[in-house]
Amino acid sequence: MSLYIAALVSSYAAILTAEKEEGQGLVEYALIIVLVSIAAIAVLGLLGTEIKNSFNAIITGLKSR
């Protein structure tokens, strides 16, 4: 009987630990997405006009053909 109780307690502890780690992983992924988004917005803010000018040059080149 004590082996059954020990196995039950062990499996319950594993379930609690797994749920806690799963939530932690989700938060880590969310933080990564936020940081990548902030970096992308910063890069686009700094290079936005150069990118716009490049695309306008491409569009102008395609229209002239």
pLDDT at 20 (0 to 100): 57
What span, in angstroms and rounded, lies between the C-alpha atoms of 30 and 49?
A: 30
| Domain limits, the chain | 25-65
E-strand ranges in the chain read: none
pTM: 0.49
Q: Note the pLDDT tens digit of each residue in 8-65.
A: 566 666 666 655 556 677 888 989 999 999 999 999 899 989 999 999 999 999 998 7
4 token code pair: 């059954």
